[in-house]
Copies of this chain bind each other. A is one copy, B any other.
């Protein structure tokens, strides 16, 4: 059997409560005794039993995150941020991939709720009602989605779209088209708002490579000189289809994405895209969750985005 708090107490010649206090409320115990306890703890390699602790405190010291698609590098990046910040606080993170399934998403949160102190929900596809219900079950922080009364961290998609269009127009493009993502995705709606009817929207398409393949076909029919993809994965699909059709990017058509996933810099031509503060968003989400656990009211934070100009966009006159 593992070493328990009693073993430590016995060897340090104090009571179990003193050991407990020395460990979790250092201020309440005399420095010398505390040191003695700590020495014994180190000597015995004592590790408090989390189950016992959480049984009594009601806290698990864990947090959960559910993402819609781990194959989209956008989410691993968020995950890293969450892990980093959570790790600093000694919190472990449960992870789940909902595979773009709204019901799965809700189900996963419900399952997690029982064993975490709170969950981070990335780009949920659920209705506001369901999300509000989930937030009722466990402290919730949304990423890229707002629901009244629920904390969230947003990445400014609207401004990102604005930056893309400004860039495109500065290159002389007048005829561009937006290749839309899932209608229920908050990011998509925000990008649409940023578009302000300055370009027609096609779609919705699946927010992945395959979706981009399809989107490119439709977009070609419009005669537009620039394609604005909902995200990088889709843009990669667009690039691939255009390459296959022997259409030169950016000579004939300019293409932009969203997210700045690592492959955006690796493909050719390298993709002009909007960088999202993914890792930062993960960290902020953990902070917001921590605040909620301390009793703070729900809060929303919006992080800035920034256009990254690479090789997939070019002056129309060239």
* Interface residue? A267 (CB, 8 A): yes
Give residues 85-128 of A contacting B (CB, 8 Å).
Answer: 92-97, 111-112, 114-115
From 24 to 81 in chain A, residues with beta carbon under 8 angstroms from any chain B beta carbon are 47, 49-52, 54-55, 60, 62, 70-71, 73, 76-77, 79-80
| Contact segment of A6-14, A235-243, A296-304 | A235-243
**A95 and B97 form a contact (CB under 8 A):** no
Other-chain contact of A80, B55, B70, B265 (Cβ < 8 Å): B70
Residue on B nearest A237 in the bound complex, by CB: B266
Whether A79 lies near B70 (C-beta < 8 A) is yes
A273 at interface, CB cutoff 8 A: no
Tally of contact residues, A, Cβ under 8 A: 39
Q: Is A262 an interface residue (CB 8 A)?
A: yes
**Contact indicator B92/A115 (Cβ below 8 Å):** yes
Query: Which residues of chain B have C-beta atoms less than 8 A from A159's C-beta?
Result: none
Interface positions, chain A 246-272, Cβ under 8 Å from B, are 262-263, 265-268
| Cα A239 to Cα B95 with chains together (Å) | 33
A80, B97: Cβ atoms closer than 8 Å: yes
Q: Which chain B residue lies CB-closest to A239?
A: B268
Given contacts A47-B114, A79-B70, A79-B97, contact A268 B268 (CB under 8 A): yes
Chain A, residues 213-251, CB within 8 Å of chain B (1/0): the string is 000000000000000000000001101100100000000
Closest Cβ–Cβ distance, residue A49 to chain B (whole Å): 7
Q: How many copies does the complex hold?
A: 2
A83 touches B97 (CB 8 A): yes
User: How far does the Cβ of A116 sit from chain B's closest Cβ, in whole Å?
Assistant: 9
Q: Report yes or no: A240 in contact with B262, Cβ–Cβ below 8 A.
A: no
A209 at the interface (CB under 8 A from B): yes
CB nearest neighbor in B for A75: B76
Of all chain B residues, which has the CB nearest A107? Answer: B87
> B residues within 8 A CB of A49?
55
User: Closest B-chain residue to A67, C-beta based?
Assistant: B76
Expressed in whole angstroms, the minimum distance between the Cβ of A283 and any Cβ of chain B is: 14
**Chain B residues within an 8 Å CB radius of A52:** 51, 55
Q: Is the CB of B94 within 8 A of A92?
A: yes
A79 touches B95 (CB 8 A): yes
A-B contact pairs, 23 of them (CB 8 A): A47-B114, A50-B51, A50-B115, A51-B55, A51-B60, A52-B55, A70-B79, A71-B73, A71-B76, A76-B76, A79-B95, A83-B95, A83-B97, A92-B111, A93-B94, A93-B95, A94-B95, A209-B266, A240-B268, A243-B268, A263-B263, A266-B267, A268-B268
5 closest A-B pairs by CB: A95-B95, A70-B76, A51-B55, A51-B54, A51-B51
